[in-house]
Structure 1
Amino acid sequence: MKDNDYLALDGYSMNVFLTVLEQGSIASAADKLGITKTVIGNCLTKLRSVFHDPLFVRTGGQEIVATARAENLGERMRVVLSEMQQLTSEPVFTPQKAVLNFTVGTNDFQRDLVLPELYRQVASEVKAFSLRTIISESPALEWLRTGKADLLLSPIAPEGVDILHKRLFIDQPRCFFDGNAREAPRTLADFRQARYIGLNVVEGQRAAVMAAPISRELEQQVAVRVPNFSEMASFMRGSDLLAIAPGMLRMGALAEFSAISPLFNLPSITMFMLWHKRHEGDAAHQWVRAQLESAVTNVMQRGKLSKFNLVGV
């Protein structure tokens, strides 16, 4: 038998062989399978060529009997067909038995606000859960394409047919300040004359929330730049600095500070969940994505905020 003869095997022919073996008759097997005796003959001819054995011999008339090789092959083929059936069946995801390792690319704001809730939810449901974060104000789509990250949380909707996304929430910018160190800005002049703390200007990343005409003026008033939202607090505390930042920071890094709505229009901030197309149908990934949506909802409820309308007071 040649080493590559096994590649000629196929599930259909093996199923025909097993039916003939069980029925003890080609005619009976044809009736059971709803095919012609010619089709059965062709399948057996293929298998005889592979195994170099007649498999069945006539005992007189139309009666046949399996060879010793055929009897031995029968049990092994049943195992192979069973494994082939399992291979093609839809995988069943059982959280209680799952060991999950997920990496999420996100900014520090979403890491602190949403991911702790996600971890608690998932860890309580699965056998083992490992969560790793990669921090960036604008997580790179290449992280999904290369497998560096399984999910991204990003304010930027993706470009490219291989990256899928779903909106998690919409936030509104707020003006944060230390109410113990200064009064709230009450006029446009107050905003224009104030000094600000903002994010670092990094090539390829969005440096600030401000994107209205007045923001170009306020951008010139940025006195301190930090790499992420979490570091704004230490500079704002005890100073007269203002920060135009996502309103949901009231629930996280900037919870200790006062916050008001700016006197000028600013674009809403939309946060998306992004994943690669290759994970679209994966049962474990689908489950974790659903858990992330649930985590966002739970965070909003605790903060008495609406999932799709986060305009605060």
Structure 2
Amino acid sequence: MATIPKTLGDYAVFPCQLPQLQSIAHLPPATHYFYIRRNAPKIATTDDERSLFIANVPADGTEGHFRALFASIVGPGRFESISFEEDRRRPRIKVADNDNDSENESESDFNDLDGVLPRQAASLAELKSRKRKREGAEKNDREESRRNAINALREQSHLPAAWPQTLHHSGSTAVALFADSKSVDVVLKAVAKLRKASPQHYPTWPSLPSSPLGAPWVAGHNRMAYPNHEVLRESVDAFFALFNQQESEAAELAHRMRNVPDEDGFITVSRGTTGGAGRGVAARQQEAALARAKQLAKQERQQQDMTNFYRFQLRERKKEEQLELQRKFQEDRKRVEAMREKRGNFKPET
């Protein structure tokens, strides 16, 4: 029997026997090969020293499979968690921490206004920041209950899953996190010893009853593809309730942003609902003119502050002034010569 290579590039080869199926019990069990190395992402993190990068993850791999697999070669207590390639690519939604007011501004606060412009969202964040500064360290119970209701609607608005288990694509990757860097060294040493071992001594890929494949997996899909109508109705109702809430908050934001100038100092003028349409429009036009004048004055001050700021600017300005004086001198000399010629040709009447 030929021995497997110890390494393949920067990766250590980790052999694993797949469970034997009853339909092909007369054949030898198949061997699956993992390729592992220390995790070295482009953007370093604090957990890189105690994590392993795993390539060629099985299609049905779960955290329970890898926990049992590593426990079989290095013992329990060393493996902590694992993140698959699909989980790392999926955008994460931050959840508010009730114990820290600075983190209460979760991503869900801004996802409630998905239909508004980015500048409006930034202005909304500024307004919320001002509001938090005015309120101080006191917790707003009404805002907290609103966030909890929004999170509940988000969870309920998702349609029921149609597959009992999400499968990974071929050649998928994962990052396994261990208790400490020493545990990573122990795993790499245990994998290196498997190079000279016989296939009978390879660790076996665990068979978990919670994630069956084959006919049970297809049967579970057929069962989950037709959920209860009451569950579907609740999901759709939650989605539209969340949509209507976002629409109302977007309209409220647009109302609050009516008198806030944009980057160019302009204010979008709209017809007022109270106090007379003509008076409201005239007032907002005056406010827009004042905001525009302030913006122009600010730009002029900034331009004046930057004038003659560098030494080369002084030299250029003096050179331009000298050229301007020479040009004016030449024009004045031509004008004097023309006057002299005109006076020399003057002939009084006799």
TM-score bracket for this pair, using the shorter chain length: under 0.3
Q: Which has the higher strand share?
A: 1
TM-score, normalising length: structure 2: 0.19
Q: Which has the higher helix share?
A: 2
TM-score, normalising length: structure 1: 0.21
- Using CA pairs under 8 Å that are at least 6 residues apart, name the structure with larger relative contact order, 1 or 2: 2
